[in-house]
Chain A
Amino acid sequence: MMVETLQALQQFLPGFLIPHFNWLVQLGDQLGESMFGTYWPDLFTLVWTLVKVLIIVSVLMFALSYTTFAERKIIGWMQVRIGPNRVGPWGLFQPLADGLKFLFKEVVLPTKADKIVYLLAPVFSFGPALIAWAVIPFSDFLVLADVNASLLFVMSITSVSVYGIILAGWSPNSKYAFLGAMRSAAQMISYEVSMGLSLVVVMMVSSSLNLVEIVEGQGQGLFADMGLTFLSWNWLCLLPMFVVYVVSSFAEANRAPFDLAEGESEIVGFHVEYSGMPFAVFQLGEYTAMLMGCTLVSLLFLGGWLSPVSFLPDSFLWLFAKIFAVLVLFFWVRATFPRYRYDQIMRLGWKVFIPICLIWLAVVACWMLSPWTIWK
């Protein structure tokens, strides 16, 4: 078990190390077998999975901290400012300084708060955002858990993070936080509907719930045969759904122009009673959700790791480039649009997006059954 799994790693090693590596693997396998007996294969799978989880989480945390930095820099350039430039060369150590600052701030526990739930709420908002990465494929083989219903898994896990908001509003026993939580939770639930409906269309055209299959289905079609793969991706044939999904993911991640939770100048959000590290965890949760949104847009509509033209090879670097492009779109929108009023947010979600989704759902269903179908 262990020998086969680890031997697949050989290709990434320089040649002179391979015999030493193999010897180490054999030794580890024998040691494990002598110590744990029949439990060894299962135990090894567990440890190996944990190692992979650790790698994904650490890369994600690094990306997360530099997303905040990139956001401040890019919005700065858009507004003809410099952005953070004091800590380290070009301000590169700014995320570290921010993290340290949060660590040294006092954690204020409101007197009448429900202490356990109060401290649990940030976990509820950050944890699910992390768990969802378990099924995200970075290329056709780089995936932690390739489950059949991976898209459904992502949807269900991200829908859990609404608990973080509700509990953060309820537990400190504050009316402002509670009203803010009600607003944000209602916003998330409303936009989950239009998001889910646009995903239904994606599932229909790729006839699969598996993210790897959804991406690979986008590599086929009329334009892909002509060498222009990027015209075969879902964004073109499902353009209304693409727009609805991107805008809904702004709202899902509580980002501008739907960031009522943070509308510091006019309205109070659900995390007013939080300070120090618990507040930072909410921010981390928001940024993870935003990265997740960008990744899902890239996977579902922009062809994931597929290369845009057929003479270049597919690679996970394409996926990272697409995620970054969508991320810059998020920043751009934040720097451009004024904040929506709450009733306008709800109107957009329920009265505009859901009808568009339902109509396009019917249109695509008829299109798929008609002789002019482009999905086989």
Chain B
Amino acid sequence: MEFRTLVFYFLATILIFASLLVVTLRNPVHAALNLVLAFFTASGLWILLQAEFLAIALILVYVGAVMVLFLFVVMLLDIDLDRLREGFWSYLPLGALVALLVVAEMSLVLSAYWEALESDVPQVEVGYSNVQAVGRLLFTEYVYPFELASVVLLIGIVAAVALTLRSKRKTKSVDPSQQVFVKAKDRVRLVQMAAEKDD
């Protein structure tokens, strides 16, 4: 057995265990953490396939950004663990059906390419930068889908701003650009008073 194969099985075992725990763990925060572990091992597998740009992007986007916000939400929600436990098994038939369907689809797709995958994976030469390769493809062949994706993201940003923007500020926070121009005489008034007579 090759060294790479050994590493592959090591990562794959962790990946499967972590993904199983994501589904079965009761505590949503623990489940989210296991999902993070699953992302890490998946990116390890991609590095093994010499796709280091994709692997790093996976960590940057999913672990660094998406899962952090996910954890925020999960932690801020008032989650009743006992209610979550109720009816866990009653979802089994539906869940199994969906799982079977996904497995069937994936095996159909993969079996069509399996022979090609075994033989035709090109070994990249030393010094090959797949950052450049991905960039070139994105800006030439897939430029329209890429632009479309950025438009969708822009719509997302505008929607998020529109949802949270209130017409008038009701907070009493100060405006720093005005705050810096405050002089002592605006805040403090010195009063001269005659001393009171003590009768």
Contacts and interface: CB of A to CB of B under 8 A. Distances in A.
Nearest to B177: A347
Interface residues of A, number: 28
B1 to A, nearest CB: 9
A166 B72 contact: yes
Interface residues of B, number: 24
B64 A160 contact: yes
B60 A166 contact: no
Contacts of A39: 3
A157 B52 contact: no
Contacts of A209: 131
What is the predominant secondary structure among interface residues of chain A facing chain B? Answer: helix
Contact of B68 (A117, A189, A343): A189
Contact of B52 (A149, A155, A163, A344): A149
A126 B185 CA distance: 49
Contacts, number: 64
Interface in B56-94: 56-57, 59-60, 63-65, 68, 71-72, 75
A42 interface: yes
Contact of A149 (B29, B53, B75, B173): B53
A58 interface: no
A160 B68 CA distance: 9
The 8 closest A-B pairs by CB, nearest first: A159-B64, A156-B60, A42-B3, A156-B59, A148-B129, A152-B56, A156-B56, A170-B75
Interface of A: 39, 42, 114, 117, 147-149, 152-153, 155-157, 159-160, 162-163, 166-167, 170, 178, 182, 185, 189, 192, 209, 343-344, 347
Given A147-B52, A185-B72, 15 more contacts: A39-B3, A148-B53, A148-B129, A152-B57, A157-B59, A159-B59, A163-B36, A163-B68, A163-B71, A167-B33, A170-B29, A170-B75, A189-B68, A343-B173, A347-B176
